[in-house]
Amino acid sequence: MLFQTTETFESERSPHDVPNRSLSDRTQMDLSMLPSSPTIMVIDDSPEILVDVQEVLESEGYRVVTAGDGHAGLRKVLDQRPDLVLVDMMMPRLSGFGVIERIREQGISIPIIMMSANENDSQRNLAIVLGADEYLIKPFQIMEMVAVVRRLCPPSCLEITDTVPEAEILRGIQETIPSVYRPQSIFDRKKQIP
């Protein structure tokens, strides 16, 4: 199990059903397909983990690319140059250590997070020495992973252009804030500066 949750699922669910792991009840915009969304490469030999991590990160506004083994993941990293890599430690053919080492040998300085069920300090230290920026121990809390990803690769924000005239903004402020609490307008202060 990758994530620690307090959810209980009905026993009738198919093993192929993926539970809805909404991180909050708020309405979220789907930013995953915007060109400015950061791309995260997830490399793991477990299809369930790939699906779970992809769903969570896409709900946070990231574009996610996945690979089922170290060799495929490394090829995609070199071809697509993602903004962050999440890589499992134990994989057949090419381990997470090998992936990290080869990425760094190529001079690629993107953030890398290693995921592992191994709590051994020597393994964690080796990952850091090879170039991992973080080490998450499975199973981990969804929000722990999201917090680490956000810290290393903040989701892009939509740029909102200001097309509303100053007078309309001031009128809206004056209508919603009682006059007793109304501070001097920033627009008024700007106009007072010679």
Q: What is the pTM of this model?
A: 0.64
Residue at token pair 């997830």: 42
Domains within the chain, CATH numbers bracketed: 39-152 (3.40.50.2300), 161-194 (no CATH)
Question: 7-58: per-residue pLDDT in tens?
Answer: 434 443 444 444 444 433 333 444 444 457 899 999 999 999 999 999 999 9
pLDDT number for residue 45? 96
* pLDDT tens sequence across 47-61: 999 999 999 999 999
